[in-house]
A and B are shown apart, each in its own frame.
Chain A
Amino acid sequence: DVKVTQSSRYLVKRTGEKVFLECVQDMDHENMFWYRQDPGLGLRLIYFSYDVKMKEKGDIPEGYSVSREKKERFSLILESASTNQTSMYLCASSKTSGEYFGTQYFGPGTRLLVL
């Protein structure tokens, strides 16, 4: 069974703290993605990676950075957390092509509250 795991389900941080969100997939997928989901705004892509050490900006990369040192792991970093980064963060992975093209598998999400 395919699996994407995220390091925390719930996280509470203070403004200005550095925050690390970890995502691990066990499906040998090339692509990994970080989204945030907010009511009325839907899923918005922050960053994605199509290979180890490769990264591409999504639609809302400001205030975030990412790291992909190993194929199975993709980290999202909030350098200095702000209250407007309170959100649900979802990690996903997918294969580059083939039968399951277009299918992204999501982790359970991390609800981050920044005070």
Chain B
Amino acid sequence: RKEVEQDPGPFNVPEGATVAFNCTYSNSASQSFFWYRQDCRKEPKLLMSVYSSGNEDGRFTAQLNRASQYISLLIRDSKLSDSATYLCVVNYNTDKLIFGTGTRLQVFP
């Protein structure tokens, strides 16, 4: 079983839609959680950290459910520029990160 699992998608949504991705992790010792974004043929970049109480950054909301060992990312009012692959990332309080394989989002006009 993979340490971090994501639905690869693609999720095809119209502009203005709300879309949510989930990610599950296998190791209950996981300490920190992140969402990274990777544009086509580009490097990954940190989108946001995920805190236990949930957190919001503009149109993006991240949630953590430790009991069920999953993380979610909600994008409201989708823009064409949101089209990318979203990587779920966990950390066991070391300097190493464990990356999921990513969920691809395509926003169409």
Q: Are A and B associated in one complex?
A: yes
Instruction: Point out residues on A near B: beta carbons under 8 Å.
Output: 31, 33, 40-43, 45, 48, 50, 58, 90, 94, 96, 101-104, 106-109
Interface of A is mostly: loop
Number of A-B residue pairs, CB cutoff 8 Å, is 42
Instruction: Point out residues on B near A: beta carbons under 8 Å.
Output: 8, 32, 34, 42-46, 49, 87, 89, 91, 95-97, 99-102
Given contacts A102-B32, A102-B49, A108-B42, contact A40 B96 (CB under 8 A): no
B100 / chain A contacts, CB cutoff of 8 Å: 42
- Return the contact of B99 from the options A42, A101, A102 (Cβ within 8 A): A42
A94 to B99, CA, bound (A): 15
Question: Besides the contacts A104-B44, A106-B43, what 19 more A-B pairs have beta carbons closer than 8 Å?
Answer: A31-B95, A40-B101, A41-B101, A42-B100, A42-B102, A48-B96, A50-B95, A58-B96, A90-B44, A96-B95, A101-B32, A102-B34, A102-B49, A102-B97, A104-B97, A107-B43, A108-B42, A108-B43, A109-B43
With both chains docked as a complex, state the minimum distance between the C-beta of B33 and any C-beta of chain A, in angstroms. 9
With both chains docked as a complex, state the minimum distance between the C-beta of A14 and any C-beta of chain B, in angstroms. 24
A26 to B74, CA, bound (A): 34
A31 to B101, CA, bound (A): 23
A104 to B97, CA, bound (A): 9
